[in-house]
Amino acid sequence: MRKVLLRADGGTEMGLGHIVRCCALAGMLKDYFECHFLVRAPSPAMKDLILQSCTGISELSAGVPYNEEARLWTSSLSGDEIVVLDGYYFDTAYQQEIRSKGCKLVCIDDIHSYHFIADVIINHAGGINASDYSAETYTKYCLGLKYALIRKEFLDAAPSKTQVSADPNSIFLCLGGADPNNVTLEILKYLSAINPQYYFEVIVGAAYRFGDSLRAFAMESRLRINIHSSLNASDILALMRRCGIAICPPSTVSIEYLAVNNGLLFLKKIAENQATFYKYLVNGNFAFDISAFEQKLLNGRQKTDLTDLDGLQKARLLEIFNNLQYAN
């Protein structure tokens, strides 16, 4: 069984998006490849998440410059591995250390800010074209939601989303695994001023560090708020299918909601790298900015369905990795 090495980081400031995407990919590959994760300073909760889809973890030193790090951990590679990079520090020089060993290279990327020498680039945000990238002539592109890196539970549920009878008065609120600026509380305060009569299912992740202030607000507020911490994918899926409205960043959590529910999705951009996907979702009428919350609920609930989220993402990505496995 050929080995896939996945390299990504996460934490309270960076968030967990890179980790979650890589774990979703490993979940698709693990029955066909040996998946091993490389990460700097993982928390216990992060290790638990990774080991759900990977056979092992290598912990890398947080104090080493990234290009030096690449030279250190790639020194033991045989050249037969497929390496997956997901993060903004893995520039052309970092990629070159991997390619010099003879390994196949896959880059998960959503900012296209440097030249790529990868065999494959995966960018599951919509609105991106190959011409947006600087890359080698041999590089293949897996762009758009047909290659969405979402977890098995959401892929399996995607074909039946039209059968969901969600509660139009329940709101799913999740701003990622870390939410370092506590936008969760900001949005709840904003909605408290509007005073909608809704139930809120608020999800925070393992890296969220504002639990005390969030719980205090929930107790004092007029809003009806349930707070959930560090849920597994099945529990998150159940909440998503229950809620006819969702408020999320334009990131993987939005893709998961759109895959399993035809309800209204409102977006709050919390990072610059989300700008392109935000524009794609809003311009396509797949979702709306959070500032339009009151207007949309008063004047209509129509939006466009995303047909690319068909549950076949695993088959498409497996084909890509199988082709890499047998390529010269």
| Chain segment 209-263, per-residue pLDDT in tens | 999 999 999 999 888 999 999 899 999 999 999 999 999 999 999 999 999 999 9
Same domain membership, residue 277 and residue 183? yes
Average pLDDT along the chain: 93
Residue 205: pLDDT band (50, 70, 90) is confident
Contact 187, 225 (CB under 8 A): no
- Which comes out higher in pLDDT, residue 45 or 98? 98
Q: How many domains does the chain have?
A: 2
Residue 42 three-state SS: coil
pLDDT surpasses 70 at 92:
yes
Residue 163: pLDDT band (50, 70, 90) is confident
- List the domain range (segments joined by +) for residue 290: 153-299
Residue 301: pLDDT band (50, 70, 90) is low
Same domain membership, residue 322 and residue 255? no
- 306, part of any domain: no
The percent of residues above 90 in pLDDT, for the chain, comes to 80
| Chain segment 5-36, per-residue pLDDT in tens | 999 999 887 888 999 999 999 999 999 999 99
pLDDT surpasses 70 at 300:
no
The pLDDT value given to residue 252: 95
- 304, part of any domain: no
pLDDT surpasses 70 at 328:
no
Per the listing, tokens 């010269």 go with: 328
Same domain membership, residue 277 and residue 141? no
Q: For position 286, which CATH number holds?
A: 3.40.50.2000
CA atoms within 13 A on the CB side of 194: 17
The pLDDT value given to residue 176: 87
In whole angstroms, how far apart are CA 200 and each of 184, 211, 221, 256, 316? 11, 16, 12, 18, 35
Same domain membership, residue 21 and residue 143? yes
The pLDDT value given to residue 116: 98
Same domain membership, residue 84 and residue 159? no
Q: How many residues does the chain have?
A: 328
In whole angstroms, how far apart are CA 175 and each of 50, 106, 181, 291, 305? 20, 27, 10, 16, 22
pLDDT surpasses 80 at 298:
no
- 305, part of any domain: no
- 68, part of any domain: yes
